[in-house]
Each structure stands twice: as structure tokens, then as C-alpha cells.
Copies of this chain bind each other. A is one copy, B any other.
Amino acid sequence: MPPATGEIAKKLRGAGLRPTRQRLDLAGLLFASGDRHVSAESLHGEAQAARLPVSLATVYNTLNQFTAAGLLREVAIEGNRSYFDTNTSNHFHYFLEDKGQLVDIGSERVEVFGLPALPEGTRIDRIDVIVRLKRG
């Protein structure tokens, strides 16, 4: 179920972010439905379509703040655009190359096997897996 407005405000506060109108609007779009993948541009477009006035600069700032606060996770896809994922838990992605679209791999059973010893003095922060899919 979509979180209530009060929930969202609480979430922001918990992350040390003032629940301003813009942040509430963007968080509403981001966290209303299930897991989502957005770029700054796409989220800005959505906000416009929903008559929620936010400047593009604020969308950028907000996405970065949410990411720093652990509310979002950035996904590295080659190319210039940055993608942000509302699912911050450990999971992997399909990338539909023809559409440029990211899709969560909905399985906790996926595992990476056979990693050799890590370089001295390091530990795993996280493992990103992107399965690139072609049409066909």
C-alpha cells in the first residue's frame, strides 16, 4: 500500500531532511507504488505531468539527498544519465538494452559464486549485477 502523507514526512525527518513541499511531492511519486527506477529527467517530467511544480535543479538535489540518506540507491548504467532505484535492498537488475529500461530481478536466490580472494585490506561494499538483455 502507498505510504500515507504523514508516513512520508516521518521518513524524511528520520533521514534528517525537512519535509518541504517539493520533497514530499517527489517522495510521493517515488514511494507511492512499488519499486521504481527513475532518472532526474523522468522524475521531473512526472512531477510536471502531475502539476507538482519542482525545478529540475531541485530534482537533482533531492535525488542526491535521498541517495545520501539511504532512501534511494544509484544504479550504474553506462551512458551519461544516472538512474536511481527506490529498492535499496540487495538485489540485481535486468537492463533492456533496446528500451534503455531497468527491471529488478525479483529473486533473492540469485548469487555470485566463485569469487577469488579479495585484494588485501578490502571488503565487499556491495555487488552489482546487471544482466543485459537483447531483443531476440
Contacts and interface: CB of A to CB of B under 8 A. Distances in A.
A91 B32 CA distance: 38
Contacts of A14: none
A101 B23 CA distance: 34
A109 B118 CA distance: 15
**Identical copies of this chain, number:** 2
A134 B121 CA distance: 9
Contact of A112 (B103, B121, B129, B136): B129
Interface residues of A, number: 41
Contact of A134 (B96, B113, B122, B132): B122
Contacts of A126: 132
Interface of A: 74-80, 82, 94, 96-97, 103, 105-107, 109-116, 118-119, 121-136
Given A74-B78, A94-B118, 10 more contacts: A76-B76, A76-B77, A76-B130, A111-B114, A122-B133, A123-B134, A124-B133, A124-B134, A126-B132, A128-B131
